[in-house]
Amino acid sequence: MKAQDLRLYYLDTSAYLCILLNEEGAAGLVEELRGQGLVSSVLLILEANRNLVRLSRLGHLSPAKLNRCLERVREDQALLWLRDLTLDLCSGWDMPVVSTPRSLDLVHLRSALWFHKQKPLTRFVSFDDAQNQAAQELDLPVTTEAEGQS
């Protein structure tokens, strides 16, 4: 499949961690994303690594699983098209109409908008209800569980 034929999916950190940790909903999401273009912000790497260390410190991940997951994050960087955190992204005016996202969530939203302007996204994928609400306010394509998320 050629790059221009790929459907683009924006993954925020909650969706990526769901897949990485094989949480509920991961199998269907992996199937939906297989062979498609996956995009995100470089923030995903920072947040994923931070959350993995936090989970390990809380005793939810063994040291061996932590190391496997951290290695997988490094490997997955080659599979993702990542948007750098740049001044133009930070100084833009794109803001949801009603909700006020946290700063790091806004980075994901603005990154998704940037990709969406290059080539329309098939879906903005997040497991965070507030993030999905903000994405909908910005006219990003969101499918929630209530709407039949795969």
Which residue type does 75 have? E
Q: Is residue 59 part of a domain?
A: yes
Given a cut of 70, is residue 2 above it in pLDDT?
no
- 24 found inside a domain: yes
What is the rounded distance in angstroms from the CA atom of residue 120 to the CA atom of residue 148? Answer: 21
The neighbouring-strand residues paired with 125 are: 11
**Residue 63: CA atoms inside 13 Å, Cβ hemisphere, count?**
0
Backbone angles phi, psi at 144, to 5 degrees: -95, 165
Structurally, how many domains does the chain consist of? Answer: 1
Instruction: For residue 149, tell me if it sits in a domain.
Output: no
The candidate with the shortest Cα–Cα distance to 28, out of 108, 145, 146, 131, is: 145
Given a cut of 50, whether residue 149 has pLDDT beyond it is no
pLDDT tens figures, 61-111: 999 999 999 999 999 999 999 999 999 999 988 999 898 999 999 999 999
**Owning domain of residue 80:** 3-143
Q: By C-alpha distance, which of 22, 98, 30 is closest to 11?
A: 30
What is the value of pTM for the model shown? 0.90
Using the predicted structure, report yes or no on whether residue 147 has a pLDDT greater than 60: no
- Residue 113 sits in a domain whose CATH number is 3.40.50.1010
Query: Is residue 8 predicted with pLDDT exceeding 60?
Result: yes
Determine, yes or no, domain membership for 150. no
